[in-house]
Structure 1
Amino acid sequence: MPDQPITHLRHVDIAVQDYDKQVAFYEQQWGLTKVGSDGDVTYFAAEGSPEQYVVRVRRSQDKRLDLVSFGAADRAAVDGLATRLATDGVKLVSEPDTLQTPGGGYGFRFFDVEGRTIEISTEVAARTHRRIEEREDIPVRLSHVVLNSPEPERMMAFYEKYLDFRLSDTNVHPQLGGIMWFLRCNPQHHSMAIARCPHVSLHHASFEMRGLEEYMRGSGRLMRDGIHKVWGPGRHRAGDNTFTYFHDPNGNTMEYTTELETLDEDTWHPHLYSTEDPETSDVWGTSNPMNDFVSREMFNDPDRGLFIAPPV
């Protein structure tokens, strides 16, 4: 198995109760492209990304995170990960096989330590994509996903042990200790982060914009449209990326970002950033202040799908 079997984040799949509003939001306001639908499941691509889709939305009575999908280096990496997980008693949802989702490929699914469904895949066909132009304020690609956890240290240990994620930085609260851990699977500062939260849920999914101009135009457009802004615009210290967070129609948090830091993995050493320093949350000081109210808005509803595989 390769030294770094996981290559990147592919897509984030959610189930929602108000399906029609969610589909309209992604297509008409967030700037994604609908690439397939059967009426109860819709796939959305980012115009600048070779991934077949970056978000899947499913109609459901229960709001949940259906799954998070990561790319693997090759079939040996897929098979090696499946064997490693199964040998240690991690529950596999499916064995490595040909995938039936758009783009095909080879992969499997399993439950992580808190019951989320995770997919690992390789050989998925690339989608025809294009260069995003100047001042075009739509997402280029899916940047990263952040997961809420009541036991974040346990979560981090699981992803480090089984999927070989590496710690980039940690945000630390003076009373609570660690509150957010930034994990990478490639030189990008983080493809996933884990946030301390009272329950298991999706914290947010983040979408990369072309640059600062496009990021600000997109943020402003959504604010003018009356989309509920949770926090931003600003720039984080960990990852050095910009941020504006919004609530989608079902109360999930979605982020526009750009300029996420690329690391030299041979020389990088993780930092501890204290939340007592206001620049940890926002280097620029341009966003609304991070406080308990803003933090709670990102707690989301408790996930209703733990240790239950999605039907698709």
Structure 2
Amino acid sequence: MVRVFRLAYVHFGCTDVSAMVRYYTEVLGLSLTEEEGGRAYLSTAFDHHNIILSPSSEPGLKGFGLQLAPDLSAAEAHAALQRMGIAAEMKADSLPAIPEIVQFTDMDGFEVHLFSQMEATAPGFRSEGIVPNKVGHLSLRVRDAKRSVEYYKQFGFVNTDWIESFFGFMTCNRDHHVLNFCTSDRKGMHHLAFELRDYSHLVRSMDYLSKHEIPVLWGPSRHGAGHNIATYHRDPEGNMIELFTDADVFIPELNMFEPRPWHETIPQRPRVWGTDECITRWGTAFEEALV
């Protein structure tokens, strides 16, 4: 098995890189660390990059990078993938700040990078914009969520919750989910989520989106699986972006989540949720309005 411990970066293809850079810097509050070969690299605070934007005639998710556990080198990960029957390629200096990556395509055609080291340029948190803590999780539309969940267990991911049988949540650390998979008839990203500090940060972020004339699609409301308080909007290329806070913390040794007053059971353990009870615990509906 190849063990990873975090989602480090997400790569988007863009029809207008400049517009996306403006959104990720001026609205989300990330730092532009480098522009090279038409690509832009942006950081939440510490890493050289957590978002990659590259020119493309087809906008949307291109791939993502997972950081390997500290005791595993890129070369060792490459050898392990070969033994697992996963075709992979070692690349040196193909991305700035990362000496080596192991690149492969997963069962749904997403490009995945594994790496052990990334230069920490440490631009720090900015004072303008939403300024999230980090990239929190990535949600993918796949052919078969159950099959994808089993596939990613090979990389140290653990299944934490389900929405019925079509939406699986997985973690490789103590976050409730780092990746999740939604059975769909089309491939692509469902959403990318950024973690905020607390509920007041979330409210300020909604005001900031309004200032930039970006409508909120849904929320804030508390989900069931993960119990995160979440809102959703779209970036300039139509990618759905979640801003969230207050997500469950997983204790793998006990197969439970740290207790919270709003949990349905104590202890709260991984479970299968019904769709209606999972989407919102507050009854927040897409269709209803005050007037």
TM-score band by shorter chain is: 0.7 to 0.9
Deviations 1:93-112 (CA, angstroms, capped at 9, x unpaired): x22x5444232243311010
Show the counterpart of 2:49.
53
**Equivalenced residues, count:** 275
Show the counterpart of 1:191.
178
Show the counterpart of 1:123.
117
Of residues 60, 78, 85, the one that matches 1:89 is 85
Partners of 1:136 and 1:64 in 2: how far apart?
A: 23
Tell me, which stretches of 5 or more residues in structure 1 are unaligned? Answer: 173-177, 292-312
| Structure 1 position 241 matched with structure 2 position 228 | yes
Deviations 1:86-139 (CA, angstroms, capped at 9, x unpaired): 2343221x22x5444232243311010111110011122223254688x97421
Show the counterpart of 2:23.
25
Tell me, which stretches of 5 or more residues in structure 2 are unaligned? Answer: 256-268
Q: Is the 8 A contact 2:60 2:237 kept in 1?
A: no
Of residues 167, 171, 188, the one that matches 2:163 is 171
Q: Is the 8 A contact 2:194 2:242 kept in 1?
A: yes
Of residues 95, 100, 104, the one that matches 2:98 is 104
Of residues 276, 285, 290, the one that matches 1:288 is 285
Partners of 1:68 and 1:136 in 2: how far apart?
A: 24
| Structure 1 position 222 matched with structure 2 position 209 | yes
Equivalent position SS for 2:217: strand
Query: Which amino acid in 1 is paired with 2:25?
Result: E
TM (norm. structure 1) is 0.81
**Cα RMSD over matched residues?**
2.3
Partners of 1:150 and 1:170 in 2: how far apart?
A: 16
Show the counterpart of 2:240.
253
**Identity of counterpart residues, as a percentage?**
22
Show the counterpart of 1:309.
none
Deviations 1:37-92 (CA, angstroms, capped at 9, x unpaired): 13621111113xx2211111111112242211011113635334322322343221
Equivalent position SS for 1:148: strand
Partners of 1:38 and 1:106 in 2: how far apart?
A: 18
Most deviating of 119-128 and 198-207: 119-128
Equivalent position SS for 2:136: strand
Partners of 1:67 and 1:155 in 2: how far apart?
A: 15
Query: Which amino acid in 2 is paired with 1:101?
Result: L
Partners of 1:79 and 1:104 in 2: how far apart?
A: 14
Partners of 1:122 and 1:99 in 2: how far apart?
A: 13
Partners of 2:53 and 2:242 in 1: how far apart?
A: 17
Q: Is the 8 A contact 1:67 1:118 kept in 2?
A: yes
Show the counterpart of 2:266.
none
Partners of 2:225 and 2:59 in 1: how far apart?
A: 30
Partners of 1:228 and 1:155 in 2: how far apart?
A: 32
Q: Is the 8 A contact 1:138 1:214 kept in 2?
A: no
TM (norm. structure 2) is 0.86
Tell me how far 1:237 sits from its aligned partner. 1.5
Of residues 199, 205, 215, the one that matches 2:192 is 205
Q: Is the 8 A contact 2:28 2:130 kept in 1?
A: no
Partners of 1:28 and 1:207 in 2: how far apart?
A: 15
Show the counterpart of 1:274.
274
Equivalent position SS for 2:250: coil
| Structure 1 position 12 matched with structure 2 position 10 | yes
Partners of 2:28 and 2:190 in 1: how far apart?
A: 18
Deviations 1:266-308 (CA, angstroms, capped at 9, x unpaired): 112421111133xx212233x43389xxxxxxxxxxxxxxxxx
Partners of 1:52 and 1:35 in 2: how far apart?
A: 6
Q: Is the 8 A contact 1:132 1:210 kept in 2?
A: no
Partners of 1:242 and 1:32 in 2: how far apart?
A: 22
Partners of 1:167 and 1:114 in 2: how far apart?
A: 18
After the TM superposition, which segments of 4 or more aligned residues of structure 1 sit over 4 Å from their partners?
Answer: none
